[in-house]
Amino acid sequence: MAAETASITLAPKTGAQLERWLVESMAEYEKARVAAGDTPEQAIVARRESEARFFPDGRPAAGQLIFTVLADGDEAGWLWIGPWKDTDGDGGDGDPWWVWDIRVHDAFQRRGIGRATMLEAERIAREHGAASLGLNVFANNVPAIRLYESLGYLTTSLHMFKDV
């Protein structure tokens, strides 16, 4: 039986919201990288590279879209999507798009909000001419992996590590 899809709204983040979100999102990114096996130093380098590529001068690069996810008017999380390639426009013409970050706040989980947000991400990517939508998920995030698989996402790469 398919999970119920919640009703959500995606609201583009304002300048002030973007500043707060960038700090929170990048801190979570660092923590997730460490949990997935990076050293703290490696996680910091990865965060800095991401910020330099996607947020030069603290503002989103061309084509990158950052939304607040609203459920019944309450802030339930966020979504960051955009073209895979560095572009000067919207990343159309069949280029792949990417879900760079999606977060459903703990109090809103298990309500179908993640599913609804992913379906909206697919719609937005299609509207911008994307041929596909990809994402990365760390192996320890089993609930997210199950969600993405239920939406038809396929594993295209698998990195494995072992401490020696």
pLDDT digits (tens, 9 = 90+) for 122-137: 999 999 999 999 999 9
Helix (H) or strand (E) holding 119, with range, is helix 113-127
In the three-class reduction of DSSP (H, G, I as helix; E, B as strand; rest coil), residue 44 is classed as helix
Q: What is the pLDDT of residues 67-119, one digit of tens each?
A: 999 999 999 999 999 998 765 555 556 789 999 999 999 999 999 999 999 99
Question: Which residues face 104 on adjacent strands?
Answer: 77
Give Cα 82 to chain centroid, integer Å.
9
* The model scores a pTM over 0.85: yes
